[in-house]
């Protein structure tokens, strides 16, 4: 699929990706290629990957592959597309006003929003913070309902 970014299907690939991205933000997007929102997200990512390339790397993870299920469980991914941020193999949290700070759920409305989010993560990481606040106004953040243990 040419219109997608580097898609990872194996756990080992994901591991190496996490481990080898040093001093750069790693953006891992979990989703399904057939999902329209995921495609929308991919579109935005594709446009901005070059611009953030100096301080971020972007990769997609296909949730349908079996190998990656561990990660899906580990990261508590219940809604797709979900984006998880890493920095130097440490997971970065972001407070967007939603219930789940560990990941970004949904797509970005604009390319600039994505760049702002990644920049915020990078700045926080360089200062040594594991959690950062989202720079976007609440109307730009996609809302979702987080279910507790499938309740």
Partner 1 sequence: MPIQNPNPNKKKKKHSNQDDDEDDTVQGKQQTQFEFCKVCRLNHNQGRRHIYFPNHKKALSSFLYRFQSKFKNDVAFYLKKPMPLRPEHAALNRLWCVFCDFDILEYDSSFACGNAIAHLASAEHLKGLKSFLWKYGGGMDRMDSFRISESDFTKWEKKCKLLKSEAAGGGSHGSLIGPLNDIHNESKSEYVNSFDKNKLDCLTSDVKCSNSVVPLQDHTIERSQISHSKICTVGPQILHAGTGVGLGARTPNGLPGFFGNQHYTHSVPKEGPAYSCPNDGKQVYPYEGIAIGDGHSQGTSSEESRLQSLQNLTQISSSAQENGGGNVHSGAPPPWFSAAEKIQLDNKLNQGLGDLVSSLGEQMKTSKLNPKRVGAAWAERRKIELELEKRGELVRHDFGADWLPNFGRVWQSGSRKDSRKEFLGENKTWRKVDSQIEKPSQLQPYISKRMRTENTAE
Sequence-ordered list of residues with C-beta below 8 angstroms from that of 5, at least 6 positions apart, any chain: 42, 45, 46, 49, 58, 59, 60
Give helix then strand counts, H and E, for the chain.
4, 7
Name the minimum Å distance from CB 18 to partner 1: 5
Q: Which stretch binds partner 1 (CB under 8 A): 33-41, 43-51, 90-98, 110-118?
A: 90-98
Number of residues that bind partner 1 (CB under 8 A): 33
70 vs 97, beta carbon nearer partner 1: 70
Kindly state the tokens that stand for 52: 């953030």
> Are 44 and 76 within 8 A, CB to CB?
no
What 3-state class would DSSP assign to 85?
strand
53 vs 70, beta carbon nearer partner 1: 70
What is the DSSP secondary structure assignment for residue 45, as one 8-state letter? H
x-or-dash pattern for partner 1, window 127-146, by CB under 8 A?
A: xxxx---------------x
Write out the residues near partner 1 by the rule CB under 8 A. 11-12, 15, 18-20, 22-23, 70, 73-76, 86-93, 100, 102, 124-130, 146, 148-149
């Amino acid at each position: 699929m040419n219109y997608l970014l580097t898609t990872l299907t194996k756990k080992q690939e994901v591991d190496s990706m996490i481990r080898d991205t040093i001093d750069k933000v790693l953006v891992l997007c979990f989703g399904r290629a057939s999902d329209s929102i995921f495609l929308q997200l991919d579109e935005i990512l594709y446009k901005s990957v070059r611009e953030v390339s100096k301080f971020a790397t972007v990769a997609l993870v296909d949730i349908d592959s079996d190998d990656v299920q561990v990660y899906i469980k580990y990261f508590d991914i219940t809604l797709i597309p979900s984006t998880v941020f890493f920095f130097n193999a440490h997971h970065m949290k972001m407070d967007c006003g939603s219930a789940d700070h560990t990941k970004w759920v949904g797509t970005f409305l604009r390319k600039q929003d994505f760049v702002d989010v990644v920049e915020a993560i990078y700045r926080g990481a360089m200062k040594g913070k594991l959690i950062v606040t989202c720079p976007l106004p609440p109307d730009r953040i996609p809302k979702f309902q987080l279910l507790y243990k499938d309740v």
